Structure 1
């Protein structure tokens, strides 16, 4: 078989295994990848060069798979090829759910579902294959596996080629986060010098008629602000005597939802404005008492803004929201007092906003072994299979309840998952060499395949490139103190990420409609062109 035929065959086998994110079925995909590697002659003779590793304390016992091919000429230079092996669910496939993981059948019958004009044209062209995981991103894993197989035969390169297939990218990137200490260990024990990382996610065309493909020089970051609002409880018959925390979360939402002041920008790339992912009070049962607590958390994307600067903006917005609610409540009380014959004394509140880091510091100074108490509760919540976000809300609630100076307030924090933004700028020798290899590959694509490839600043779909390192100028202490549950329910290895700081790009085939039933992969570019471009880039980097 040709290389392109091998990649298709491997893709077909991988797609046939569901591996839906956040379920134990992800392990089926990891085990299949491990078996594929174990059958390669190179790994039969070098069993110490590949393996499958457990993700510590993972609810679903998920794993990541790794493999290292050493070039004939020894060098510490090591290039990473990586992608995620999980996929999202298939509910939207309707009556075609039974064939969503069958490339041939799904491609043949996808028109039975309602296709938009572009998807229908692609279907009729015969130039695309359909099915869950085709483009996001089992093609990338299949490509990496067959590139590893190819390079393991002659090994005519200098250095090392390291393959990682990670779980959980579609949930909280548990696989890549778990792989960071592994990469750091190789760095220490084998003295690997990471020349770069290629995330094999597909490029996404912006319109059907464009004649270009993309290599992404960075990835968008994601941070999730949580606003934990404490009100003043009261009987529902006397609502103006209290402070309903739902009013606080509602005002925060009014100020923050789709607010372009929180859109980040680098060159011509602008992030989408923030949006609320969940807003709720914490009252569990019905009663005629108003809620005491409410919480809301948001999706917020970054390209360049520091977490410190962002936290300052969020605190100012919270203060504005608090004051707006108090002023509105005062006006409503005044109007009510004019109507009511009973002159009632109402409690006056003052706006109070704190970061979680500030609150935690105060509580730790007042409560002995506070971390131990929280850790015990976190372990219980994990056993109940609460998600990271619910656990984070509970942690803030427990922290506040141990605080001696209680009263209405807004506590601002960050909650999992956290994705640092990354951008390959060519500021050091390693990055410059990587960019030179990219430029050679782009020229090769034009000269030999007449393919126009551009360098785009950021992959905007959020991906594991975020966990290939981070800027050494970040204030890690400030960041970690404001990520709720850091080191407990969310073990993000910030120090190891800072140490790695691997230059990286997103570069793969061409795909469309990620997470939709019309997910599809372009055949010609993905199977005939990209594998040759990968070989060109690898040889350029591992000279």
Structure 2
């Protein structure tokens, strides 16, 4: 049996086995998957001489990072990594029992799609009928990627050569990348203790392509970054019968949302696929019906970036907020002409502050209050943006400041962009990827500058940590994230090479079979082995 055929068979076997074991983010299945996988790797005859272990994401956290080291000759080591958590299977409806069973799901999904009405459903019916795609929750995103890594590791274990392979499977990528963050902080000490030089990493995450596959057949030499911008709006609550006696926080927040949505000022010019910002959530502080206008509101915005810095992004966001607030105040002043009450004429402007300014005032005016609030937030079973909202609100109250005002900041884990540096191993990795893409059999594979999906590469790759101090100072829940201003990013030369398919995170999720099981493992094997050769 040829080595290529063995790689493909191994990739298929691992992909189906991993997919059938459910691991939805935030569930007991995700928590149990890590220990199960570690034990499964220990029992695999092909990995009889490998070192396999796991460690928790954090003390008391039930989720585990799984690691396997296969030694060859010398210190040079390539890391093959990916996440094992998936989004929910509940959206499959009556097909949920088969959501992680690719073979059983295929026929049932085809039958259901016989009455397809949407373009996406008709395309899925054609894809499945052609036999070129295989459906299942998590197969595309991204257990087929992990399977490609395991197939390469299996081949290396059978015929170890120069260097070493370190396989890492992590949880929580679909939420806050807690697994990758934990791995990134442990990798330097682990490498030192085991005598390894970590020269490169290949992230194995999925690529979506609704077209002919030319975008999906790609090796990405960097990744996009993501920030969650926040605007806490403090207004002046009043009885709805006397609206001009106050200033409605929800109206101010709505003006900010309208100005920021799709704002070209926040679309990164250094990215050919520059994605504009978008509102992810907006809410006021009212918990029930009454005739008092909202006193506070909170909005969050998704921003993707490649070339800009977080400082530049926050500056631009502040400027957009000021512009929006000035505009809505002027509009309200015109509408208030001839009405009774002070109205917006009593407000010259709505100041825009940063969370770090408000937090400093809060610590001065009410020592210990923010620390107590952080302890409370740590015990909450709530998403990070909600914790940041509550902490900003607490800081605002403790500061002694009064509205109207807007407090800007960040509301979640920052994902920094990565790109290959000028370091020797980074440039060598780029060359290895170009060669692997050229040598891939079948349709053309290309190298691209940016992986457009949010990924663990941000914590494992060569991201610029210089912005973390600013981000940390303006992220209310920062102390809860386990991140520091320095040393929390692994700094490895990293690329993404993963399976491609369509409609992940939907019941139509499906993977292109020949690329995922044949081309991808072959390319990853080529990249990994070439990077292990002595310089």
Residue 450 of structure 2 corresponds to 458
Q: Does 1:541 align with 2:531?
A: yes
| 2-structure distance, mates of 1:379, 1:527 | 42
**1:89 Cα deviation from its structure 2 partner:** 1.4
Which of 131, 140, 145 is 2:136 aligned to? 131
Partner of 1:316: 319
Kept in 2: contact 1:37–1:145 (CA 8 A): no
Quote how far apart the aligned CAs of 1:344 are: 9.3
Structure 1 window deviating more from structure 2 (525-534 vs 131-140): it is 525-534
Local SS of the residue matching 1:331: helix
Q: Determine if contact 1:65/1:165 at 8 Å carries over to the other structure.
A: yes
In the alignment, what sits opposite 2:67?
66
- Secondary structure at the residue paired with 1:81? strand
Q: State whether residues 263 and 274 of structure 1, in contact with CA within 8 Å, keep that contact through their aligned partners in structure 2.
A: yes
Distance 2:343 2:261 in 1: 36
What's the offset of the Cα at 1:208?
Answer: 2.3
- CA shift for structure 1 position 188: 4.3
Per-residue deviation, 1:302: 0.8
1:240 aligns with 2:232: no
Please give the alpha-carbon distance, in whole angstroms, between the structure 1 residues aligned to 2:337 and 2:150. Answer: 71
Aligned equivalents of 2:70 and 2:136: distance in 1? 31
1:318-333 maps to which residues of 2 (within 5 A)? 318-333=321-336
Q: Distance in 1 between matches of 2:364 and 2:449?
A: 45
Q: Which residue of 1 aligns with 2:55?
A: 53
Please say if residues 498 and 520 of structure 2, whose CA atoms lie closer than 8 Å, have aligned partners that are also in contact: yes
2:438 is matched with: 443
In structure 2, how many angstroms separate the alpha carbons of the residues matched to 1:32 and 1:209? 34
CA distance in 1 between partners of 2:317 and 2:393 (Å): 19
Partner of 1:218: 222
Q: What CA distance in whole angstroms lies between the structure 2 residues aligned with 1:32 and 1:172?
A: 22
1:40-439 equivalences under 5 Å are 40-41=44-45, 44-45=48-49, 49-56=51-58, 61-71=62-72, 73-75=73-75, 77-114=76-113, 115=116, 116-158=121-163, 160-190=164-194, 192-205=196-209, 207-208=211-212, 210=214, 213-266=217-270, 269-337=272-340, 347-380=346-379, 382=380, 385-424=381-420, 426-439=421-434
Matched residue, 2:40:
36
The offset of 1:14, in angstroms, is 1.3
Shift of residue 145, structure 1, vs aligned partner: 2.0
Partners of 1:184 and 1:389 in 2: how far apart?
30
Q: Deviations over 1:93-131 (max 9, x none)?
A: 232112111111112221123353332221121121111
Matched, 1:491 2:482: yes
The 3 A distance-change label for structure 1 pair 232 and 370 is same
Whether contact under 8 Å (2:468, 2:484) holds in the other structure is no
Q: 1:23 to 1:493 in 2, by over 3 A?
A: farther
Shift of 1:194: 2.2
For residues 257-277 of structure 1, give each alpha carbon's deviation from its aligned partner in whole angstroms, at most 9, with x where no partner exists: 12233211335x223211111
Partner of 1:520: 510
1:363–1:452 Cα change, 3 Å = same
SS at match of 1:201: coil
Deviation at 1:345, TM superposition (A): 11
Structure 1: state its 5+ residue gaps: none
Distance 1:387 1:471, change over 3 A: closer
Residues 209 and 412 (structure 1), Cα distance of their counterparts in 2 relative to 1, 3 Å cut = closer
CA contact (8 A) 2:336 2:343 kept: no
Q: Any idea what SS the aligned residue of 1:88 has?
A: coil
- Report the secondary structure of 2:144's partner residue: helix
Contact kept, 8 Å, 2:133 with 2:513, in 1: the verdict is yes
Provide the rounded CA distance (Å) in 2 between the counterparts of 1:113 and 1:394.
44
Question: How many residues in Structure 1 have an aligned counterpart in Structure 2?
Answer: 523
CA distance in 2, matches of 1:324, 1:249: 12
Does the CA-based 8 Å contact 1:16-1:101 persist in structure 2? Answer: yes
User: Retained in 2: the 8 A contact 1:40–1:149?
Assistant: no
Q: Is the 8 A contact 1:241 1:347 kept in 2?
A: no
Per the alignment, do residues 169 and 50 of structure 1 end up closer, same or farther by CA in structure 2, a change over 3 Å counting? same
Contact 2:100 2:137 in 1 (8 A): yes
What is the CA distance between 1:183 and its match in structure 2?
1.2
SS of equivalent to 2:207: coil
The Cα offsets for residues 280-314 of structure 1, whole Å up to 9 and x where unpaired, read as 00122333322211001011111111000011111
CA offset digits 1:47-74 (Å, max 9, x no partner): xx32111121566x21111111121x22
CA distance in 1, matches of 2:102, 2:264: 40
Q: CA deviation at 1:364?
A: 2.4
Would the aligned equivalents of 1:468 and 1:497 in 2 still touch at CA under 8 Å? Answer: no
Task: Tell me, yes or no, if the aligned pair for 2:226 and 2:415 is still in contact at 8 Å.
Answer: yes
For the structure 1 residues 63 and 473, does the alpha-carbon distance in structure 2 shift closer, same or farther, using more than 3 Å as the test?
Answer: closer
Q: Do 1:180 and 1:493's aligned partners in 2 also have CA atoms closer than 8 Å?
A: no
Deviations 1:387-421 (A, max 9, x none): 11111100000111110232311000011132111
2:31 to 13, 27, 33: 27
> Using a 3 Å threshold, how does the CA distance of structure 1 residues 17 and 42 change in structure 2: closer, same or farther?
closer
- Structure 2 partner of 1:508: 498
Alignment counterpart, residue 519 of structure 2, candidates 529, 533, 536: 529
The secondary structure found in structure 2 opposite 1:417 is coil
